[in-house]
Amino acid sequence: MPKAWSKPLKVGVWVMKHTLTMVRKRIAVFLLVITFCTCGLAARLFYLQVFKNEKYRSAALTQRLREIEIQPKRGLITDRNGKKLAINVSLDSVVVNPQQIKDPENTAAALAEVLGLSADKVLEKIQRETSFEYVARKIEPEQSKAVRALRLDGVYLVEESDRFYPNGSMAAHVIGFAGIDNQGLEGLELVYDKNLRGTMGRFLGETDAINREIPGGEKQYLPSENGQNLVLTIDEVLQHIAEREIDRLMEETKAKGAVVLISDPNTGEILAMANRPAFDLNNPVAVPDTYHRNLAVWYNYEPGSTFKIVTAAAALAENAVRENDGFYCRGGMQVAGHHISCVTAHGSQTFAEVVKNSCNVGFMTIGMRMPRERLYDYIHGFGFGQAPGIGLPGEEEGILLPVKDVGPVEHANISFGQGIAVTPLQMIGMVGAVANGGLLMKPQIVREIKSADGAIVQPFTPQIVRQVVPPETAYKLGQLLEDVVADGTGRGAQIPGYRLAGKTGTAQKTVDGRYVSDKHVASFVGYGPVDNPRLAILVVVDEPQGAYYGGVIAAPVFKRLMEDGLRYLSIPPTETTAEETVEPKIQVPSVMNLPLSEARKTLEGQGLSYRIEGEGSIVIDQTPPPGTMVKADTKIILIRGETKPAPGLVTVPNLTGQTMREVAQSLADMGLTLRPIGTGLAVRQDPEPRSQVPAGTMITVEFQPPETDPPSP
């Protein structure tokens, strides 16, 4: 080999060796990378297949599962006696699985014809990229039968529960209504939606890539849980009576609106609540939304003379007036340079006649005898200026001037029910407090919540808000209001054989801040029977046409409501002889916890005789109880014991057989408070009679109707 070639040849060999070395290194690196990647993928695959197996298996299954919701049955709403006010009916809904429909156009046309829908809208739903679409919700049975007869692929009928109200518009504003998706929209349907709705169930079925059900595939069934049932304080019979009378009232007066409320004054339970205008619960969208307003809790109106009950109660409780105090009405009164008129010049009157004649001058005089702050204490005490808390949508507080803004004119106006706005619910609570012995009860519309199988989940017991006036004040006021019905402005409410108490009201309405003479609110509020109140009733008429006085148009409605209500409750009329009518009666004073010598002096001072039983020097019980009205020759039985209660303690009286009003009065005289359970006569109490407890202790008393045998001890 020539020398000239040797050097280039060596260079070439070196280059080839170097190149082969580089290639080998690159191949080694590449293989190393491939090895690492393969190991990483293997590790990742092992991690996913072993450690995350359950997660991704469930996810894959979820993607293959087709879900169908199972609606629960909405809970029932019943009256206090179990009569159904809101129930459920089963209706079919049309649903489609677009993935299973082979001929969308013809399917859409066929469904549209049967259901009365637009073919284009049905086609648009059928062509969506989903596996479940509603075409029509809750169709009529005839339509359901026609759809079933079509036998279309991918078209199904799903049973759904629909809300139905058997009585149409009855108690519409109380019950409210539910929407197409089983959701509460108004009234108690809305307030207790969470309880009534229940829990949604689901059915999951395994399908393939084109949504065909896999035979033998996995299925999951989660059952629905039906809603709880709502038991109201409403009595369907009394509600029917209220609805009948309010319809008659609207027809006769052509009024803009009206409210009727019936309550049990001893418990605060609302037994009937009727409003006009009203609406059909099965078709609520057929009327304007304003018809859905519950005037009983929402409507603010000037009460007029019905508010004089508050002024009279405050004045009697504060000893600012006595029954025989004299007043003189010239037809009006000057207050701070302003002339405030009365209906007529009543002349000389006693306080009892001021109440009976509804004299504005008399009530202005009485109201202004009390400081405005003290009068406001009673106004607030009776629940005005705050929402009563019944738990219905739209509750209003009324309109009450701040006490600092009340001048002499405002003070005078408020005393006879002008310059203040109240709600019907507040007024029925106020008169209930007078009826039951001075206790303001929280208004109640729901009695209890029950589970779907009938077990009580949550009871609602009567609640005392406060003692507004002493029982003796409430009793005196009741006698004055009885005279209003017997021989005053409320004579239109009289029912032969029954002692009723009430008050009329006629108030001018304001337009642009000024009173107008052609728009009025007429009302009547009262209770009965006076000796054992069972019903309190309020009638409010907004802008009646023609006659507009409360005694003319509202009192007769009260009469018919009370008459039918007492008959329904089997309360017989009381026969009053002439001798009983004129015979004077004496109110039994409380001598509990007094030394025997002081008790004797107290009874003798009232002209009452007595009989002493037991041993000891302290009176530990008495019969009849304090506050009872008795004939002058009645003998009071005094039970004596050995020791007087320690300072700050009082002896609990025996309350068995007394009415709630009598119990409240007896306990108030002792400085104790009442927690009532039930209605009727006292059958059980806690603490036991003659127990010694601190003043202010709450005594729980169980009441039962007189016709029910008392429980065994």
- Structure token pair of residue 612: 């002493």
Sign of the C-alpha dihedral, residues 375, 321, 441, 566? negative
Element (H, E) at 95: strand 84-96
C-alpha to C-alpha distance for 152 and 559, rounded to whole angstroms: 63
**Cβ–Cβ < 8 Å for 300, 421:** yes
CA 403 to chain centre: 30
* C-alpha separations of 163 from 138, 501, 524 in Å: 11, 42, 36
Where are the extended beta strands (E) located within 268-315? 269-276
The SS3 assignment for 621 reads strand
Where are the extended beta strands (E) located within 615-663? 618-623, 629-631, 635-641, 649-651
Q: Residue 219: what are its φ and ψ, rounded to 5°?
A: -135, 145
Nearest to 158 by CA among 107, 202, 206: 202
Cα angle 392-393-399, degrees, rounded to a multiple of 5? 95
C-alpha to C-alpha distance for 665 and 627, rounded to whole angstroms: 6
Alpha helices in 127-165 (DSSP H): 141-150
C-alpha to C-alpha distance for 343 and 67, rounded to whole angstroms: 73
691 is catalytic: no
- Structure token pair of residue 246: 């309010």
Cα angle 593-598-601, degrees, rounded to a multiple of 5? 135
Nearest to 69 by CA among 221, 198, 201: 201
**Cβ–Cβ < 8 Å for 625, 653:** yes
Burial class (CB in 10 A: 0-12, 13-18, 19+), 451: middle
Determine which one of 305, 358, 590, 666 is catalytic. Answer: 305
Catalytic residue numbers, as ranges:
305
